[in-house]
Structures are given as C-alpha cells and as structure tokens.
Amino acid sequence: MDAQSDAKQSDVKKEERPLGSRAPQFIKARRPLHMSWQVGVFLVGLLIVVTGVILLPLPGPGWLIIFGGMAVWATEFVWAQIVMRWTKGKLADGTGYLKRRRAERAARKGMSTP
C-alpha cells in the first residue's frame, strides 16, 4: 500500500463507531429483553441473508440483499461489525483502484491524441 491509502484508512478508523450492541439503553439494561432483542435481530438478518442467497442464481440484487442482512446483524453482533468493516475497506480499495485506472487511461488517451 502507498502512504495515501494508509492515511485514508487511519482517517476511516478514527471515525468508526465502537464495536458492540446498538440496542437502546433501556433494552440493554434488562438481560432477558436484550437476549430477546438479539434473537429478533438475528432472525430478521437471517431471513434477509437467506432471501439474498436464494436470489443469487436469479437475475437481481442477490449480493446487495446479503450485504443488507449483514448490516442488520452488524447493528447487534460484533463479528458482523468486523465483517462489515472489512467489506467496506475492500470496497473502498476496489473503488480507488478503478478510479486510478480510469485516470491513467484518460491520461494515456489524452497524450496519444495530436
């Protein structure tokens, strides 16, 4: 990696929220209610992810739906938050790569034209 991407990653890490549950405080304060909340979040996320997996072979936004389910899980579970941070980082790296390639191609095209 170059220094510029390292600086971008350090800026992103500074802005990230701490890992952990995003449940409202009154739910976190009561253990049985928090466990019920986590089960509900898990089931909703599972339903969304399974729907995305079913849609993968069909035309449509299968991967987008799977990432949506992961985002639902990331509201409550640390492991999903870590996966989402990793995914966002890889997506940012890929987007930066494509932008650099486009700029290089435009520069070459501009230089070859008289």
Tell me how far apart the alpha carbons of residues 32 and 45 are, in angstroms, rounded to a whole number: 20
Q: Is the pLDDT of residue 7 over 60?
A: no
8 CB burial (10 A radius; 0-12, 13-18, 19+): middle
In angstroms, rounded to a whole number, what is the distance separating the alpha carbons of residues 114 and 2? 33
Instruction: Kindly tell me if the per-residue pLDDT of 81 is higher than 60.
Output: yes
0.75 exceeded by the pTM? Answer: no
- Among 4-8, 57-61, 66-70, 78-82, the range scoring the smallest mean pLDDT is 4-8
Specify the pLDDT at position 1.
44
pLDDT tens per residue across span 18-28: 777 777 777 77
86-109 confidence digits (pLDDT tens): 988 998 999 999 999 988 888 888
Q: Output the pLDDT for position 52.
A: 93
Does pLDDT of 50 surpass 90? yes
Tell me: pLDDT of 42 over 90.
yes
